[in-house]
Every structure is written in structure tokens, then in C-alpha cells.
Amino acid sequence: MLPPSPKKPPQNKLGLSHAFLQCADLILPWLTPQELANVSLTCKTLHRAAHSITLYRSLDASRSFENFPIPFHNTVDQYPYAYFFYTASQIIPSSSSSSSLNRQFWGPNSSQTLVLPDSGSSDAEMGCTLDSMDLLGGSWVSVMDESGCECERCEKVSEDNVIGCPCMELEGDEGMGIRSECGPSCGCRLECGNRLSQRGIQVQLKIVKDVRKGWGLYAAQWIQQGQFICEYSGELLTTKEARRRQQIYDKLASDDHFSSALLVVREHLPSGNACLRINIDATRAGNFARFINHSCDGGNLSTVLVRSSGALLPRLCFFASKDIKEGEELTFSYGEIRVQPKGSKCFCGSFSCLGTLPSEHT
């Protein structure tokens, strides 16, 4: 008698095994929108799985990295969300990475663990945890020294500028505030009053698409004046690389279907003879701050350079410059220098709108 033939895994009409369909929940969240759309045409099961991932992506732009979900709202066209790589902090891009191989998990399952075969393991499987920044070809900016205060807790600076912690300072620099906070080597913890910008967002926000301006960031609750909104996160570039990318972005923007998020910040040094230039590009990798639009009247956000004690570079943060109503768009001024007469059109709608977005020689 012949031995019974091994049972084949159940298959659908397209020959897809049940095991493959089970793996779809692990594979599909790594796909780009175009890849996800192509897969959804394969069969009804994958169509439902792809639809579920698309819905999840539209419900939280932050991939659960933030304290609150930040949903997309679009009644303008058929694109339910904007696709980009998410980073909650500044990162340094790697010149050796291949952009075609970069992936970031964005799906209902918050786990970023991928199971890869390993011939050396007894069960032929091993769990490999993938860091999102490794997938982006970047690394976290974490160059620090060991300086810091020994305070157990630093209270908020008083109105008369009396402070009890050596890390606390409040200054101004040509319209841009400068704030010093406690750093990783300080004796206080995260709940310290002088770590305001280090605890993540504390307000609810949403990303809404406008027929003229495109995506914009809006308040989903009432926000009090002076409240911390967010940090502007992205790739930290050299000036040479920033100029190279800006030339590419200018060409892509000529058809009005592309907008970059490269921000150049200049901090004037105390000597007055030089300034520190910081180039943050959130076009490809950044956080939800990349959706904040320009307003010619200065908007309702103030930009503040925040230095943590011991940190090499400051972080660009946004604070509410006035009380902001629920449903109101969050905006700030991109700058005052205008050297491109044929620059991008401005649709801020303010009484002082100049009709063109600020631009400068990078």
C-alpha cells in the first residue's frame, strides 16, 4: 500500500496558500501606497487587508510614536493620507543607504518585529527587531557631553525671570526665542518642569487637506497661549547637501504637484560675528510638523530654539503665540527673504498676504 500523499495547504482560486494570506498582515504594512494598491487588485482577501491598512494610516500619521493619534481628513481628492517616513527626533541620513530599499512599518500592528529564516537556529526561525531609523538609512542625533544640573526637579521660570536651576534661561534673538532645558545628564526626571518640549505632544491635532494649500495642521482642541506644540523633526543635513536637495526640490515644484519641507534655521552666536546654520529636511523623513503652513502675518505659532543641557545642537520647537481655537489652522512665518520672483504662490489668506511664499538662496 502506498503511503498517503502529504496534504497540500488550502488554496484559493488564485493559488494563494492560507499561510501566505496569514502573512499578509505582517508584509502589507511595509508597502508603499502604490505597492499596496497593486496588491489590493490581486484578490478579495488582500483587497480587504489593504483597505484595512489604508484606513489605519489615515487615522494616525504618527504611527503611534506620539502621545495622541494625528488623523488625516481629506474631502478634496481620493488620497486618504500623505506617505512619508516618520521620525519623532532629528536624524542623520546615511550616504551609503539605498533609498529603494528603505522601508518603515505602518499598519494596525504596532510591532516592528520581522521573522527571518536562520539556518543556525534549531527551529529555523529567529525574531529580528528592526529599528525604524535603520530602515531609513539614518541614525538618531545623540551627541552629548556629561554636563547637567544636580536639581531633583526644576520648576517653571517665573515672570520676573527668577530661576533656581542653572540650566534654565530665556532669551530672544531677532524674533526667534531661545530656551534652555535640562538634559540627559541632569539629576531631574522627565516630569521636571524644565523639560517641557521633551515629553511629546500634549495637545490633540489633525491634518486636513485644503483645495489650494494642500495638507495643513489644525488644532483638534482649544490650545492655550504659550503651550508647547511640537518639535520640527527631520533629516539633519550639511549645507552642501541642503543646497543640492533644494535644487532638486525647485525643479520638482515647478509643476505645482510637489512641496518640500526643507527648513533652514540660523542662530546668531553671542559674538555677533557668526551664526550657526541648521538644515532640517522633513520632505522624506519627518514628523507631523512638516504639514504646518506659512502665514504672512506670522501665524499663531512662535519658533523657539531649545537647547538641552549637554546637547551639541538645539532643536527647533513650536509654541502657541496666542490662544488657538479648536478647528483653527496652525501656521508660522517661513521667513522674510524673497529672492525668487517666480516663487510658489501663497494662499495663507491673511490681510498682509504677499502672494508668494518666502524663499531664499540656500
Q: In Å, how far are 112, 211, 213, 353, 355 from 347, measured between CA atoms?
A: 39, 10, 6, 8, 7
DSSP 4: P
> What is the pLDDT averaged over residues 102-112?
74
pLDDT digit string, tens, across residues 138-151: 555 555 556 778 88
Instruction: Among 17-26, 278-287, 309-318, name the most confident range.
Output: 278-287
> What is the pLDDT averaged over residues 143-172?
64
pLDDT digit string, tens, across residues 241-288: 999 998 888 888 766 667 889 998 887 766 666 678 899 999 999 999
pLDDT digit string, tens, across residues 226-250: 999 999 999 999 999 999 998 888 8
pLDDT digit string, tens, across residues 58-95: 999 999 999 999 999 999 999 999 999 999 989 888 66
* DSSP letter string, 41-103: TT-HHHHHHHHHHHHHHHH-TTTT-SSS---EE--SSS--S---EE-SS-EEE-TT--GGG--
E strand or H helix that includes residue 176: strand 176-181
Q: Give the residue extent of every domain in the chain.
A: 23-59
Counting Cβ atoms within 10 Å, is residue 85 exposed (0-12), middle (13-18) or buried (19+)? Answer: buried
Instruction: State residue 52's pLDDT score.
Output: 93
Counting Cβ atoms within 10 Å, is residue 152 exposed (0-12), middle (13-18) or buried (19+)? Answer: exposed
Spatial separation of the C-alpha atoms in residues 249 and 284, rounded to whole Å: 11
- Ramachandran bin of 161, using left for φ above 0, alpha for ψ from -120 to 50, beta for the remaining angles: left
Can you read off the three cell numbers belonging to residue 167? Answer: 540650566
DSSP 244: H
Of 79-88, 183-192, 350-359, the one with minimum mean pLDDT is: 350-359
Instruction: State residue 251's pLDDT score.
Output: 81
Spatial separation of the C-alpha atoms in residues 153 and 355, rounded to whole Å: 48
Q: In Å, how far are 72, 175, 232, 259, 304 from 329, measured between CA atoms?
A: 14, 21, 17, 18, 19
Instruction: State residue 188's pLDDT score.
Output: 87
DSSP 252: H
pLDDT exceeding 90 applies to what percent of the chain?
Answer: 39
Spatial separation of the C-alpha atoms in residues 215 and 86, rounded to whole Å: 16
Can you read off the three cell numbers belonging to residue 101? Answer: 530599499
Spatial separation of the C-alpha atoms in residues 163 and 169, rounded to whole Å: 8
The mean of the pLDDT values for the chain is 78
Instruction: Give the torsion sign (CA, 115, 116, 121, 124).
Output: positive
